[in-house]
Each structure stands twice: as structure tokens, then as C-alpha cells.
Amino acid sequence: MSKFAAIQMASGLSVSSNLIEAEKLITEAAKAGANLIALPENFALMGETEFDKIKQKEIDEQGPIQEFLANIARKLGIWLVGGTIPLAADDENKVIAACLVFNDQGERVARYDKIHLFDVSVPDSDEEYRESDTIAKGQSELVIDSPFGRLGVAVCYDLRFPELFRKMAGQGMDILIIPSAFTAETGAAHWEVLLRARAIENLCYVVAPNQGGFHLNGRKTFGHSMIVDPWGVVLDCYKTGSGFVIADIELERIQKVRAAFPVLQHRQIFYEGV
């Protein structure tokens, strides 16, 4: 058995201030016994405009945000899932929204680039988002081995595409980690429903760190970071503001549920590429 924690923040305009807040919360979660800690999407910067992240982009495997993640993982002896950070893309006018995974030695063991980009107008509001204007989309899913089981990583808007997680389940995913920055409106409508659905469909744990609160750029995010078990039970939830959730992750629980309720084995409908 291990403990996972999901950090919730209301990140602002200053990278240095956000890293100070992240370090404080990560340290608190580690003291509470967390073996793996996950940060939310855009934890290091919620800029005044979407283009601000381009100014803060880092070259892959170089830069202060990446050094911060590696150092804190090594210092605390934890596995760390680094939300998303802006990495340089081939197009100099865009970044890659990359989620980096570090082991307890501070070594980077994986990188996931956000696949689905949030290009939407939020119903019944004046909010519009066009992530494809500033982000180059990723191309492949990520499932990796860890001491805690098979980890799958996705980001925010990915949550709405169940075929992605079916593919990941086919690769043995035990625990889905999904750093997010859900808006207040879409979060209130769909966040918990989608998280619990992904857990139930794939009989896996879901660890969901979210941005939660009012941001200096005028945006409001939903919060309610949570950890959900393979039966869809919410084990912990942090509603708003900065903090974290923490819960036990039991591989035996996954094995027991999958053995008694073998949905993944019973699946009969297959789609190309899934």
C-alpha cells in the first residue's frame, strides 16, 4: 500500500511565487506520508494572457521549473508528477504543455505532452479558450511502471475522451493521474462525474489535482481536487483554495475489483487504434 497526494493551487502571474507555494504544499503532503505527489496543470504560471507562457517556456531538460521539480523530488524522496510546464515547441510561437514525472532520486522517468487542446466557448458564459493558438498538441498516451503500479498520465481536457483511457487500460494502467485546470463552470457541471466515470470504466484509481480558486488574470477554476477508487468512491476531496488531498492506493483493491467484476475482459466492441 502507498499514499498518493494531489496538490490544489490557485496559481498566479509569478513563476517564483508559484514555486514557493508549490514547495510548501508538496512538503506538507510528504510529511503527511505521501509517496507520490501530483501538481495541477499550469502550476508554475497562470498568466495574464495565454501568450505569457511562451515567454516562460523552457528547453526540454533545462530550466528553473524543471530543476525545481527534480530537486524537490530528490530532497523529499518522493515520486512527483509535475502538472504541466511550458516546453519549447518546433513552432516558436507555441509551447508544449508537458507533464514530467520524476522518481524519488530526482530523475525524470517520463514525459507526457497534452493531446487534446481546449478550444471551446463555455456555454452560458462569455468565456472562450483557444489552447491551439499557443500549444502544440501531443501525439501519444503515457503509461509507465512505478513502484506503486502502472501509472497513466493525462491532462485536463483529455478527461472528456474515454477512448484514450480505454487504450491506456489496455496497457495495464492501475492509477490515472490527471493534472487539471477545469473552469468553474465546466467543473461544477462535469468534473466529479467525469473523474468517477473514468475510474469506474477502467477499474482504476484516479488522482486529480486541480487548480481551485480566483486567479489574478480574472479566471476562476473549480478546485475539488480528488482521489477516486476503482469502484468510483471519492476517497478525498479539497473544495477550494490551496491545499491537498491524500489517500491510500492499494493494488490489492484493484486486483480484487477486477477479478470480481471483469468488465475489461468482457469488452466486445473495438475501435481502430483503441
Q: Please give the Cα distance from 7 to 24 (Å, whole number).
A: 10
User: Which is the catalytic residue, given 21, 53, 131, 156?
Assistant: 156
User: Which is the catalytic residue, given 3, 53, 57, 114?
Assistant: 114
CA 5 vs. chain centroid, Å, equals 11
Angle between helix 192-202 and helix 162-169 axes, rounded to 10 deg: 30
**Residue 41: active-site member:** yes
Angle between helix 15-31 and helix 64-76 axes, rounded to 10 deg: 10
- Dihedral Cα 157, 144, 89, 107, nearest 10 deg: 130
Calculate the alpha carbon distances from 94 to 24, 58, 88, 89 in Å: 30, 12, 7, 6
User: Which is the catalytic residue, given 41, 58, 131, 141?
Assistant: 41
Q: Please give the Cα distance from 131 to 71 (Å, whole number).
A: 30
Q: Would you mind telling me the total number of residues written for the chain in this entry?
A: 274
- Nearest alpha carbon to residue 221 among 246, 245, 238: 238
**Residue 204: active-site member:** no
The 8-class DSSP code of residue 29 comes to H
**Residue 23: active-site member:** no
Q: Which residues are catalytic?
A: 41, 114, 156
